[in-house]
Structure formats: structure tokens, C-alpha cells
A and B are shown apart, each in its own frame.
Chain A
């Protein structure tokens, strides 16, 4: 059974601070995605990482995929109130067909 452990579960910071969210598994990911969800809506894709060691940047967001493909991180630089939301990692695993499972989510609140 593959499990995704996401941490921290809650994060409350001031505008301008930096933060990092982590996503780990005991199994090797074939690919990993990060989503952001706002209240009352479905999640929206931020990025997909596939290659071990891969780093992708999306404005102030930096996504990293571990060399062993068992972990990933999302780093936000100079957080803004508009970054507030639920951040979710979602992983696919080898020999699991189309199965895609999510972590528990990180509830981020950025105060002005």
C-alpha cells in the first residue's frame, strides 16, 4: 500500500515569509503532481515532476523532486495573502496503472 505523507498539515505565516511543504513516500513515484485548492472548488494543477532531481519554478514557487523519487518539496518565496489555500501532492506509482493518490494536504494561511 502506497502512502503519501505530507507535512506540515497547517501553516500560518506573515506576508513576506518563506515556507516549504514536504511530500514523502516509502515507495518510488513514477510521477508526482502538486495541486492547489481554494474553498468550494476542485484542486487545480500547479506542476508535474517526473525525473529524479528535477527542479521546476513557477513564479515564486519552486518544486523539487528527490533524486530517489520518493519525496518532493514545494517552496514558496515571499508568501503573499493570495497564496492562501490548500496545497496537495498527488503521486502515481509503478505497476499501479492509472491509480493516483493524494497526500493529506497543507492548509496555508498567509496574513497581511
Chain B
């Protein structure tokens, strides 16, 4: 049981390049999230999805795009990468328990550096 799988784990990008962070779950839950975390700080919500075909902006959506065509996959796309996007990105799935009470299960994180 893999849970939440993120790829890649590490990536170095040049300014202006684009890339997609992949997130796949095998838990069959509807709610999925993308967060970014800067060193020693909390997590900032980028985008989230409450089910296939539905996405919504979080606290820091600028410079990112998402799609949710299936329950399993929730990719995060970075267009025109900037140094400010250097961070660790976490994908999370909310388990059973309702909109606010389910436990978040996190992937291992993707460490992105933009030079």
C-alpha cells in the first residue's frame, strides 16, 4: 500500500523552465492538496481539490497550475520557474472524517531548486 506517491524527489530547474510535480494516491479519497514549505516554516496551501474535475486556489497559487482528471492523480505544474519557487513541495490526501476532520496523509516531498 503506497499511500501518496510524489515524483520527482529532487529537481533543479533553471529560471524560466517549466515542470510538473506528480502526485498519485491509492487511497481512493476525494480531497487532495499541494503545499509548499520553506526552511523552518509552516506549510502554505497552493491548490486543493475536493474531487475529480474540481480544483480551487489556496493561499499562494500564483505561478502554479493544477488539474484533477481522476481521483488518483493531482499534478502540480510550474510555469516559468522563478527562484522564489525554490521550496519543498508536499502533496497530501485527506482521509475519512469529513471536510475538516480527516487526517492528512503526506507524500515524501519534492525538493525543488530554481537557479
B108 beta carbon closer than 8 Å to chain A: yes
Contact A43 B104 (CB under 8 A): yes
Contact B109 A42 (CB under 8 A): yes
- Decide: A45 near B48, CB < 8 A? Known: A102-B43, A104-B42, A105-B40: no
A30 beta carbon closer than 8 Å to chain B: yes
Contact A43 B41 (CB under 8 A): no
1/0 contact trace for B33-62 toward A, CB 8 Å?
101000011111100111000001011000
**Which B residues touch A35, using CB under 8 A?**
104
A99 to chain B minimum Cβ distance, whole angstroms, is 6
Contact A88 B45 (CB under 8 A): no
Q: What band does the interface of chain B fall in when counting residues whose beta carbon is under 8 Å from A? A: 20 to 34
A103 to chain B minimum Cβ distance, whole angstroms, is 5
Which residue from A6, A42, A48, A93 sits with its C-beta under 8 Å from B42? A6
Q: What band does the interface of chain A fall in when counting residues whose beta carbon is under 8 Å from B? A: 20 to 34
A90 beta carbon closer than 8 Å to chain B: yes
A50 to chain B minimum Cβ distance, whole angstroms, is 6
A42 to chain B minimum Cβ distance, whole angstroms, is 3
Residues of B bordering A, CB below 8 Å: 31, 33, 35, 40-45, 48-50, 56, 58-59, 90, 92, 94, 97, 99-101, 103-104, 106-109
If A48-B101, A88-B42, A103-B42 are given as contacts, then 9 extra A-B residue pairs at C-beta distance below 8 Å, sorted by A number, are A30-B99, A31-B100, A33-B103, A40-B109, A92-B99, A93-B100, A100-B48, A100-B100, A102-B43
